[in-house]
């Protein structure tokens, strides 16, 4: 089968590899779609980071590995001990592989597992392949009215929903989403579903237009306006109740701290590649709460249920490409802000 294998920084190759077979507790999928994630961009342009260069302590995987952790597919085979998933089922994959024994796993916070591995980064296999095999516990069946394209969006939308839940915004409040990439758009959609007014800050005109089309009350270009002044004016001088920092840029975090209301909350969900300086006065004078958000924990079912009600439209922000276009088009388009979300079509019906 064909697969995109990561060999190191700026080195992803479309290769022919052996087709996997499921073990007793596993499910084999014909992959339908796999989204390109910001984590994939970090690995490609700045890594290796999440992709292990020495054997992973739980999976034993190391580069080269097949990329792809935002995936949907059709079940083609099941292991001998799998009884509640069947061939032909359409599913989304929750790609976290956990030990089940550490303090975080025992307390139900499995996304903080001390030995965490991620399918498509640190397991060897991944969704940027024609077939993949995952544990039964990782698959979520899709309702009939949720498409396989939507299924590949469940993972990033769960990342965004988890961040929004950590922010604790209430209906009628105003939130600012910094960065209108896939996670920022997901946060916008989750906040709008809670009747929160959303201001988006994003330099890319393509992404600003998508944010407005999806319900942002304002989309500010930080290269054209004084964002701090604009947000203060739009919030009657008070600032936003919450901020979602999904851009991963130091300036975005500084702006979030400067435009969040007294005793408000700033949630950092983006990956920052460089150290960030936090101004103590902003934190102290406003009694701000700044917190992180990583991955998801029991968020997949809520996202899938919302998708079934039409809460996550794919227009105008989702586009598709072929596996052959991944390196020459997909990665650069996302890096440069020329696209919002790109799904790789792997060809499953």
Number of Cβ within a 10 Å radius of residue 172: 10
190 close to 216: Cβ distance less than 8 angstroms: no
CATH number attached to the domain at 159-292 = 3.40.50.720
Fold of the 2-153+314-345 domain: Quinone Oxidoreductase; Chain A, domain 1 (3.90.180)
Long-range Cβ pairs for the range 327-335 (8 Å, 24+): 327/4, 327/12, 327/14, 330/36, 331/12, 331/36, 331/40, 331/41, 331/44, 331/45, 334/36, 334/38, 334/41, 334/181, 335/41, 335/45
**Average pLDDT of the segment spanning 177-182:** 96
Q: For the chain, first and last CA: distance in Å?
A: 16
173 close to 197: Cβ distance less than 8 angstroms: yes
**Average pLDDT of the segment spanning 137-157:** 97
Number of Cβ within a 10 Å radius of residue 166: 18
User: How many secondary structure helices (H) and strands (E) does the chain include?
Assistant: 11, 18
> What rounded mean pLDDT belongs to the chain?
94
Report d(CA 3, CA 11) in Å as an integer. 13
334 close to 328: Cβ distance less than 8 angstroms: no
**Average pLDDT of the segment spanning 293-298:** 95
Band of the pLDDT at 347, cuts 50, 70, 90? confident
Band of the pLDDT at 282, cuts 50, 70, 90? low
State both tokens at 192: 């709008």
CA distances from 342 to 37, 108, 282 (A): 9, 32, 37
Query: Is 273 a residue whose pLDDT tops 90?
Result: no
pLDDT, position 139:
98
Band of the pLDDT at 102, cuts 50, 70, 90? very high
Report d(CA 99, CA 171) in Å as an integer. 38
pLDDT, position 189:
97
Query: Is 320 a residue whose pLDDT tops 80?
Result: yes
In DSSP terms, 198 is beta-bridged to: 175
Sequence-distant (6+) residues with CB within 8 A of 149 are 32, 33, 72, 314, 318, 320, 343
**Average pLDDT of the segment spanning 134-145:** 97
Q: Which of 41, 332, 315, 317 is nearest to 206 (CA)?
A: 317
pLDDT, position 274:
77
232 close to 224: Cβ distance less than 8 angstroms: no
pLDDT, position 337:
86
Report d(CA 140, CA 206) in Å as an integer. 32
Domain assignments of the chain as residue spans, ordered by start: 2-153+314-345, 159-292
Element (H, E) at 241: strand 240-245
**Average pLDDT of the segment spanning 178-201:** 96
Beta strands in 36-78 (DSSP E): 65-66, 70-78
Report if pTM > 0.75.
Answer: yes
Q: How many residues does the chain have?
A: 349
For the chain, percent of residues with pLDDT exceeding 70: 98
Report d(CA 240, CA 33) in Å as an integer. 36
Band of the pLDDT at 281, cuts 50, 70, 90? low
């Amino acid at each position: 089968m064909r697969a995109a294998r990561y060999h190191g920084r700026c080195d992803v190759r479309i290769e022919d590899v052996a087709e996997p077979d499921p073990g007793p507790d596993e499910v084999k999928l014909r992959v339908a779609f796999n989204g390109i994630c910001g984590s994939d961009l970090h690995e490609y342009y700045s890594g290796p980071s999440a992709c292990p260069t020495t054997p992973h302590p739980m999976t034993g995987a190391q580069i080269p590995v097949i990329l792809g952790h935002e995936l949907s597919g059709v079940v083609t085979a099941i292991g001998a001990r799998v009884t509640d998933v069947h061939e032909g089922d359409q599913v989304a994959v929750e790609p976290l592989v956990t030990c089940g024994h550490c303090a975080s796993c025992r307390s139900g916070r499995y996304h903080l597992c001390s030995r965490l591995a991620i399918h498509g980064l640190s397991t060897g296999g991944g969704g940027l392949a024609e077939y993949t095999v995952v544990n039964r516990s990782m698959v979520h069946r899709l309702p009939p009215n949720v498409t396989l394209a939507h299924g590949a969006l469940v993972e990033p939308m769960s990342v965004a929903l988890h961040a929004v839940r950590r922010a604790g915004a209430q209906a009628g409040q105003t939130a600012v989403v910094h960065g209108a990439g896939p996670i920022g758009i997901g946060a916008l959609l989750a906040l709008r579903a809670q009747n929160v007014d959303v201001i988006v800050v994003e330099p890319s005109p393509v992404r600003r237009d998508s944010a407005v089309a999806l319900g942002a009350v304002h989309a500010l270009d930080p290269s054209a306006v004084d964002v701090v002044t604009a947000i203060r004016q739009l919030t009657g001088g008070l600032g936003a109740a919450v901020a979602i920092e999904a851009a991963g840029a130091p300036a975005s975090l500084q702006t979030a701290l400067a435009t969040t209301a007294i005793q408000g909350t700033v949630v950092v969900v983006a990956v920052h590649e460089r150290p960030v300086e936090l101004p103590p006065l902003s934190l102290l004078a406003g009694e701000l709460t700044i917190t992180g958000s990583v991955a998801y924990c029991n968020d997949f079912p809520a996202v899938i249920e919302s998708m079934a009600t039409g809460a996550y439209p794919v227009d105008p922000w989702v586009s598709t490409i072929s596996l052959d276009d991944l390196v020459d088009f997909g990665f650069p388009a996302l890096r440069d802000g020329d696209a919002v979300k790109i799904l790789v079509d792997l060809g499953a019906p």
